[in-house]
Structure 1
Amino acid sequence: MSATFRKWQSISLILRIVIGLVLGAILATVIPDNGVVPVFGSIFVGLLKGIAPILVFVLVISALANASGDIGGRFKNVVFLYVLGTLLAASAAVICSYAMPVGMVLTDAANNTPPNGIGDVIKTIITNMVANPVSALMNANYVGILCWAIIFGMGFKRLASEGTRALVAEIASVVSKAVYWIIQLAPFGIMGLVFSAVAESGMAIFVDYGRLLIVLVGAMFIMAFIVNPLIVFAFLKKNPYPLVMQCLRESGVTAFFTRSSAANIPVNMELCKKLGLDEDFYSVSVPLGATINMEGAAITITVMTMAVAHTLGIQVDVPTAIVLSVLATVGACGASGVAGGSLLLIPMACSLFGISNDIAMQAVGVGFIIGVIQDSCETALNSSTDALFAATAEFHERLSNGQEVNF
């Protein structure tokens, strides 16, 4: 048994994930009523979601408490990249919606309560920032977790002894090891998740919304394979595709199936470690990216809003489209890091055109119908870009200092 386990472990994790993916699809076709296989997916996602808040909290505290170098420049760059990417994603979505105008068959309104406007989004962000730290950990409130971790990290840095700071670093190492063990379960988790998707959601439900999905996924592919590589090239002046493809392959694949940027934080941490990034930097920038770097969410908000406008015969001029892009960018930064988190911001964007909340919520209902593909692609783009831009920011600084960078 141990020889078999060692042989299995010797196979690259990506290949093991592909094996799990294919096996899940085959099992769903042969035994779609099996109730055991989906449990593997639930366990894997549950483990990721359970460890992620602790991982972020401990690593950010440890990074700040034991930071020895100046990483301020890198943070400025990575925040700029996150915001720039999200804004360009919204703009790309507008262009795709102009190039291929698409409407939708409006369904029954969803029951969730959306934000009433951008003020509500900003209020929610501020409220989350000052939430009780224990509550933030229990509810996976990453804005609150980041804020409290920064406060505690700076406190440890200024007031704690060297021995205490070393203990914090050791705790962070233990948590990181636990994450490594969980990630080794990814092939089985992906198998369960693929089984559930194939067994429960046949492709027939997407026929009526095929054009809408083409615009949504097309805009995301444009960002992933054209715009993001151009951004990386502008910063690094090197062929960006090896780095882009590695991030899509090692982060995007798992994010596609977990459909949660928050749950994919441990995966991105491991990827950044493999890329040789500074742990003091990526342990803060990756969870920050999971909170504010929302290219896929900006695309979803923009395309769905434009589709509602086209359905109602509303003409969207260029100045209004620009305002929509900015609004979608700010709104996307407040999108939840869980499956379907961007859909509830559609009514906020629709309000720009005077579209009633009842009609906008019907668009949210359509979003949940196509969510198996839309939200999976959205999360894959969001999460893979977290690692991509973190690496870009650090590699840019290294190149500026005359160091060699290889990826």
Structure 2
Amino acid sequence: MTDHPLFRLINRTSLVTQIIIGLIAGIALAFFFPQAAHKVGLLGNVFVSALKAVAPVLVFILVAASIANHQRGQQTHIKPILVLYLLGTFSAALVAVLASFAFPSSLTLVSNSADLSPPGGISEVLTTLLMNVVDNPVNALLKGNFIGILAWAIGLGFAFRHATASTKQMLGDMAGAVTSVVQMVIRLAPLGIFGLVAATLAETGMSALLDYLHLLLVLVGCMLFVALIINPAIVYWKIRRNPYPLVFTCLRESGITAFFTRSSAANIPVNLQLCRRLGLHEETYSVSIPLGATINMAGAAITITVLTLAAVHTLNIAIDLPTALLLSLLASISACGASGVAGGSLLLIPLACSLFGIPNDVAMQVVAVGFIIGIVQDSAETALNSSTDALFTAAACIANGAVSVPAENQPQ
């Protein structure tokens, strides 16, 4: 059956192209045949339901397996790089919070106000957070309590670090299997987006496109601000010299490639080659680059924060500054667990939405909106994430003298 010309054409066509086709087809159907557009909304509902089903298992298995299989005892001197990774991710989340307050975004969501239980303040948020952390793991998986899932995944991950090699291998195999299932779900994105866009536009009109455009501008604007202002400031603090030659080198040789591959993992060989050309110590970048592809997620932190606050604004949930700062911290931590597959950060949005009492049904609609704009959003996010891996590795190595080529051969 896979030898059919249609299937061969689909396999040869990239997912990004398929999503663009689905997006255009959905707009056209809603514009010319609005009655038919309502009927294909089932495709969007199936896609959102598939995301709801796979997201809890994804977070639980991947985080536990990642911690359990971490190699201990490696002397790589990457602590300064880890500090830069965490500082950059948290700074990006703060930028996203400020931008979301300055340029609030609205979404088209279907929600029942009776299902909403917005917190009364930071104390109630912390209480809810604590109770979610100690939730029963089975109950957390069943109800989609992502905070509880994350807590149990971290705890079991550290416990499994003392397990046998075969057990760790089993966890790694499970993580690979779950990732394969996620990739299968993501392959449904073109059909899901076709149904979502068609049904949404048929019901709300073309004004919804303006909401998506505004949201996309806020997201990309935040990422550009972090790439061109925040990251250079952090690098200058580290190396005490003009950071922009190094910044532009990493954006040009790593960011552009990552923009089109849309995968930090796929861009690891590019970053390793860039670090080698910059003369950085192999013992350092051979660890920090793969690690950065997993935990250095400034772009993901921006995506999680902006989309969550867009949902909060849409639902008229009032938040104070301490709660927004807590969201920044949670977004930074959540971003470190973003899946390596395209659109992986979107699946962590429910974790942040749960802070504000937003039910999973509504949160998954926000995730679906993320997939609609993901053609540009995910590419820009990956470009920021991957180029920052090389940038911060180079900055830490230069500051610590961990370079093997003369300074004149490095970007000045």
Q: TM-score band, normalised by the shorter chain?
A: 0.5 to 0.7
The partner residue of 1:39 within 8, 12, 22 is 12
> 8 Å contact 1:265–1:290 — kept in the other structure?
yes
Task: Return the match for 1:133 from 154, 169, 173.
Answer: 169
Mark the CA change 1:128 to 1:264 in structure 2 (over 3 Å): closer, same or farther. Answer: farther
Instruction: Say if 1:140 and 1:82 are closer, same or farther in 2 by CA, change over 3 A.
Output: farther
**How has the CA–CA distance of structure 1 residues 123 and 245 changed in structure 2, closer, same or farther, with 3 Å as cutoff?**
farther
Task: Identify if the C-alpha distance between structure 1 residues 87 and 342 changes in structure 2 by more than 3 Å, giving closer, same or farther.
Answer: same
- The match for 1:212 is 215
User: Within 2, Cα distance between the matches of 1:113 and 1:301?
Assistant: 22
Q: Select which of 342, 345, 366 maps to 1:363.
A: 366
CA distance in 1, matches of 2:287, 2:155: 19
Q: Describe the SS at the equivalent of 2:308.
A: helix
Read off the aligned partner of 1:274 and give its amino acid letter.
Answer: R
SS of 1:101's partner is coil
Q: What corresponds to 1:119 in structure 2? A: 148
Measure, in 2, the Cα distance between the counterparts of 1:262 and 1:140: 14
Note closer, same or farther for the CA distance 1:330–1:91 as it changes in structure 2 (3 Å cut): same
1:341 aligns to 2:344 (yes or no): yes
Q: Percent identity?
A: 53
Of the structure 1 ranges 84-93 and 250-259, higher mean CA displacement relative to structure 2 is found in: 250-259
Task: Label 1:216 to 1:398 Cα distance change in 2 as closer, same or farther (>3 A).
Answer: same
Q: Which residue of 2 aligns with 1:353?
A: 356
Which residue of the other structure, out of 302, 305, 309, is the alignment partner of 1:306?
309
The 3-state SS of whatever aligns with 1:334 is coil
Tell me which of 249, 255, 258 is aligned to 1:255: 258
Q: 1:114 to 1:399 in 2, by over 3 A?
A: farther
Residue 270, structure 1, aligned to residue 273, structure 2: yes
C-alpha distance in 2, partners of 1:369/1:113? 27
8 Å Cα contact 1:206-1:370 kept in structure 2: no
1:286 maps to: 289
Question: What is the distance in 1 between the residues matched to 2:389 and 2:223?
Answer: 15
Q: Cα offset for 1:386?
A: 0.7
Distance 2:142 2:276 in 1: 39
Aligned runs of 1:380-391 on 2, under 5 Å? 380-391=383-394
**Structure 2 residue identity aligned to 1:104:** L
Trace 1:122-201 onto structure 2 (pairs within 5 A).
122-125=151-154, 130=160, 132-133=168-169, 136=172
Distance in 1 separating the partners of 2:228 and 2:7: 37
Cα 1:243–1:307 shift into 2, 3 Å: same
Deviation at 1:113, TM superposition (A): 9.0
2:341 aligned partner, one-letter code: V
2 CA distance for matches of 1:122 and 1:334?
A: 12
Question: CA shift at 1:119, angstroms?
Answer: 3.4
Q: What secondary structure sits across from 1:260 in the alignment?
A: coil
The CA distance in 2 between the partners of 1:228 and 1:360, in whole Å, is 30
C-alpha change, 1:278 and 1:138, in structure 2 (3 Å) is farther
Equivalent residue, structure 2, for 1:379: 382
Is the Cα contact below 8 Å between 1:103 and 1:308 reproduced in 2?
A: yes
Give the aligned residue type for 1:349.
Answer: A
Aligned CA distance change for structure 1 residues 37 and 230 (closer, same or farther; 3 Å) = farther
Displacement, 1:356?
1.4
1:354 deviates by: 1.1
Taking a change above 3 Å as real, the CA distance of residues 40 and 279 of structure 1, as seen in their structure-2 partners, is farther
Q: How far off is 1:37 after superposition?
A: 11
How far does residue 136 in structure 1 lie from its aligned partner after superposition?
A: 2.7
Residue 327 (structure 2) pairs with residue 331 (structure 1): no
Q: CA contact under 8 A between 2:80 and 2:396: conserved in structure 1?
A: yes
Query: Aligned-residue CA RMSD in angstroms?
Result: 3.4
Aligned to 1:93: 96
Q: Residues 134, 333 of structure 1: CA spacing in aligned structure 2 closer, same or farther, 3 A cutoff?
A: same
Partners of 1:113 and 1:342 lie apart in 2 by 21
Distance, in Å, in 1 between the alignment partners of 2:319 and 2:334 is: 19
Listed as ranges, the matches of 1:66-77 within 5 Å are: 71-72=76-77, 75-77=78-80
Contact 2:280 2:402 in 1 (8 A): no
Amino acid at match of 2:105: V
Letter in 1 for 2:356: F
The structure-2 alpha-carbon separation of the partners of 1:351 and 1:137, relative to structure 1 and needing over 3 Å to count, comes to: closer
Paired residue total: 289
SS at match of 1:132: helix
Give the deviation of 1:93 after TM superposition: 0.1
Counterpart CA distance in 2 for 1:262 and 1:115 is 27
Cα offset for 1:71? 4.1
TM-score scaled to structure 2, two decimals?
Answer: 0.63
In structure 2, stretches of 5+ residues that fail to align are: 1-5, 16-69, 112-140, 161-166, 178-189, 198-205
The answer (yes or no) to whether the contact 2:254–2:387 under 8 Å persists in 1 is yes
CA deviation string 1:167-221 (max 9, x = no partner): xxxxxxxxxxxxxxxxxxxxxxxxxxxxx9xxx99xx995440100011111111
